[in-house]
Amino acid sequence: MAITLNSGFKMPIIGLGVWRIQGQEIKDLVLNSIKLGYRHFDCAADYKNEPEVGEALKEAFDSGLVKREDLFITTKLWNSDHGHVLEACKDSLKKLQLDYLDLYLVHFPVATRHTGVGTTDSVKGEDGVLDIDTTISLETTWHAMEGLVSSGLVRSIGISNYDIFLTRDCLAYSKIKPAVNQIETHPYFQRDNLVKFCQKHGVSVTAHTPLGGAAANTEWFGSVSCLDDQVLKGLSAKYKKTTAQIALRWGIQRNTVVIPKTSKLERLKENFDVFDFELSKEDMELIGSIDKKYRTNTPGIFWGIDLYA
């Protein structure tokens, strides 16, 4: 199952997010996920595991497990490389051992002090606050992203963590429209206005943290997981599916791409097993009623500044 981007390319509606998984574990996970049927992988320079993902992809191609054209590979430009878009993209391609990317995203709508291509540092000033570079506009960054499409390095380009205002601006100044806006959205943080705005203007939405981050975000950010919600537990019993499968199915039926992250093989299978049932209109509305406008991914705790404030 896939959606068609405004660039004309098809993007599988479910993928595997590879954040916070390293070394041999991520290599094994990528290979196992391909064997299970996953064809979409969501990477980023900042995840610091592109070389291991690249090794897994090469093994998959060399062994005949899958062809390059059958996979959809996304990675992202880090904040500190906004002034070095071409170099950063080439660095990611080299690490991933690929000739082209299916999708390249601006990871966050902020440029920070450059520390060397691919280093993905988040340097703070003497005041303990993220050192934001005010000399590079998002428009400048975007036009450099457009150049990647023209040069054949990237098939589609997009944005990530952009609100309605920034998405609107990007649509206004772009020659190549953003194909995707990847945002945090899940039953506790539904962001219906942003999702509908993007879809109305031809920008597909990818839901990162589609399960509300679960245990991983509780550990890092002290957040509460929507998977413990009584409404989702009730629907889990009704449909004989896990609460995670209910949340993912809800995301898919909103026509958003979902990229759950897991390091467990059992969960990997479970997260992909969401195409044999459909939530009723009433149950979609029921999940709609539990929105808490609750963001679980809050990088500001590491940056010394809340950029969402």
Output the CA torsion 267→221→182→113 (10° steps): -130
Q: Is 237 helix (H, G, I), strand (E, B) or coil?
A: helix
Q: Collect all residues with Cβ–Cβ distance below 8 Å to 124 and sequence separation of at least 6.
A: 130, 131, 303, 304
Phi and psi based region of residue 164 (left: phi greater than 0; alpha: psi -120 to 50; beta: remaining): alpha
CB atoms within 10 A of CB 67: 9
Q: Which of 38, 47, 104, 188 is catalytic?
A: 47
Q: Collect all residues with Cβ–Cβ distance below 8 Å to 145 and sequence separation of at least 6.
A: 77, 85, 104, 106, 154, 157, 176
Closest CA to 107 of 32, 174, 56, 44: 44
DSSP single-letter state for residue 111: -
Closest CA to 104 of 211, 176, 210: 176
DSSP assignment of 28-50, as one string? HHHHHHHHHT--EEE--GGGT-H
DSSP single-letter state for residue 189: B
Q: Which residue has the tokens 């919600």?
A: 229
Active site residue 308: no
Helix H or strand E encompassing 17:
strand 16-17
DSSP assignment of 72-95, as one string? EEEEEE-GGGTT-HHHHHHHHHHH
**Residues identified as active-site:** 47
